[in-house]
Structure 1
Amino acid sequence: MSITLTTTAFDTLQDSSKGLAQPTPEEATFDSDSEDGIEIIDNLWTIPTFEDKYAERQWAKEHMAGAFRVFAKLGYTDGAGGHISLRDPVRPDCFWINPYSVHFGLVKASDLILVNERGKPLMPTKFKVNKAGFMIHAALHKARPDVNAACHTHSPYGRAWSAFGKPIEMLNQDCCFFYNDLSVYEGFGGVVFGKEEGENIAKALGPRKKSVILQNHGLLTCGGTVDEAAALFHALEQACQAQLLAEAAAANGCQKKIIGEAEAAFTKEKSGTAEVLFTQFKPEYEMILKETGGDFLE
């Protein structure tokens, strides 16, 4: 016997965006015929879609500004360093980036800067563009048409683990987000002021992977939405923290137990999708929306 329940994943989504297209109702199937008698629930995650590209632009910018506020709360700020980029839904050959030397905790949607592939702002702005940030994100968006958003900051644990020039190990369930989906850029070429260094980072990421550890530098993650890229960044930062703690314990004689290949692959397949990662960021976005009163939406 099976019972079909019609539901939407984000009926209670708190978002002030205008023109948001409501997700198409999904079919969540509760199957009582499974061998163990446990009801199986599927199709609970839905990424909003839009018919109006201008409405999509506004929604994505608001989530980008929200990501900066979340990153500020989590301590991922480092002076003028760090950036998130967003491919423009209206003009996909251009992207939005945060203003240079503005604290993540102050960024608003209206502060974001739309630049073309040469770094020229396409709308009036009182802010400057971070040259290193532009070089990294311009090369990435050009090399990876599938990437709509990318996050890079000098977070504390990611920066510390990057000194080893090694990937993380599959130490826990959340590390499996990165199973066969994490690169290491081993050739630190100094602060990214040159086009070549940005291209080298994009090459290190490769044609399909979504995350890269930049040796002696930090972390970079990307995704189809800002939400996915931000969720991956937070997860990778936590994975680096776990790795550092595990290494310290191992140095004192504690033996690490690494998740097996088959188990890691299965966990990645089930929990590492764009929809799950989008949902991973949803609670953070909604909490920062409540805590700030939504001032970053301006």
Structure 2
Amino acid sequence: MELKIGDTAYPSLKGKVSDDEWEIRVQTAALFRLIPLMGWDDLSMQLISARVGEHYLVGPNGLLFEEVTASSLVKITVDERLVSETPFGVVPCSWYPMRAMHEARPDANFVIHTHDDIIAAVACNSQGLLPISQSAAFALADGIGYHAYEGVETHPECAVGLQASLGWHNNALLLRNHGLITIGYFAKHAFLRHYNIRKACRIQMMATSTKGGELIQFGPPLLKMFKAELQRVANGEGTSDPWDGLVRKLVKLDPSFMD
């Protein structure tokens, strides 16, 4: 079956790739659609990538995030060579920061990088993310690193610094003066980390914009408790998982992401 985005025709890959790859494609396409739906988009300049076996899926060059479909995702090798024929290219040099995350951690199957204004505003503050809200406490307990701005991260030599900043215990990177990267074993992990950190940054921006009293920060005992809460969630206890509901919402709005 032939599909079309604008004037560009491309084949449907459903039934032509393995069931595992197709599921990863659908989950990745869902991430692309959720970013603008949540208001985190920066035209087409944010990035999402996913590991599929020995290869990787990246967004097609020239498409808005709300146009991306499972079949239009471009499969590349680690050194950015196309794996299969596609009418779409990839954004030159944008692969380097994503490759750095995938190579740094075996659990980084999905990577999201945005330039969201609220997150970038907190990343510009020397104090970074403050432990003043429940969302921030969860983000800090989950592991969030900081990476000093070194210019546009679209050069291969930037990988070493990004990987060092991520380390083995962080699942997110606040890029100073820039934005945010989150990683996840599953698509929902990267997305929910992004959502939570963005909410924490928004609360911080609202709190620091008010005149008056000193901000109330959580102390070490409370922050330690949040690590235990994250373990409960990992064990299937605690809060419910909204991911399936988000995918159902996308289906109701526009199911074409699954094409």
TM-score, normalised by the number of residues in structure 2:
0.85
Q: Which amino acid aligns with 1:254?
A: G
Asked if the contact 1:184/1:215 (under 8 Å) is kept, the reply is: yes
Structure 1, gaps ≥5 residues long: 1-17, 20-52
Q: Where does residue 290 of structure 1 map in the other structure?
A: 252
Note the C-alpha offset of 1:149.
0.8
Q: Does 1:137 align with 2:98?
A: yes
Q: Which amino acid aligns with 1:211?
A: A
Q: Does 1:245 align with 2:206?
A: yes
Structure 1: distance between partners of 2:107 and 2:180: 19
Asked if the contact 1:65/1:108 (under 8 Å) is kept, the reply is: yes
Q: Where does residue 266 of structure 1 map in the other structure?
A: 225
Asked if the contact 1:211/1:220 (under 8 Å) is kept, the reply is: yes
Q: Which amino acid aligns with 2:24?
A: A
Q: Where does residue 78 of structure 1 map in the other structure?
A: 42
Match of 2:56 among 95, 101, 108: 95
Structure 2: distance between partners of 1:261 and 1:282: 34
Note the C-alpha offset of 1:233.
0.7
1:1-298 equivalences under 5 Å are 54-88=18-52, 91=53, 93-180=54-141, 181-186=143-148, 188-249=149-210, 252-271=211-230, 273=233, 279-292=241-254, 294-298=255-259
Note the C-alpha offset of 1:165.
4.5
Structure 2, gaps ≥5 residues long: 1-13
Note the C-alpha offset of 1:132.
3.9
After superposition, the CA RMSD in angstroms is: 2.3
Structure 1: distance between partners of 2:215 and 2:209: 11
Asked if the contact 1:94/1:115 (under 8 Å) is kept, the reply is: yes
TM-score, normalised by the number of residues in structure 1:
0.75
Larger Rg belongs to:
1
Distance 1:64 1:176, change over 3 A: same
Q: Which amino acid aligns with 1:259?
A: F
Percent of paired sites with the same residue: 23
Note the C-alpha offset of 1:191.
1.5
Asked if the contact 2:44/2:65 (under 8 Å) is kept, the reply is: no
What does the per-residue CA deviation read over 1:232-282, in whole Å, with 9 as the maximum and x for residues that have no partner? 111111111111111212xx2222112232222222332465567992433
SS of the counterpart of 2:132?
coil
Which deviates more from structure 2 when the two are superposed, residues 236-245 or residues 268-277? 268-277
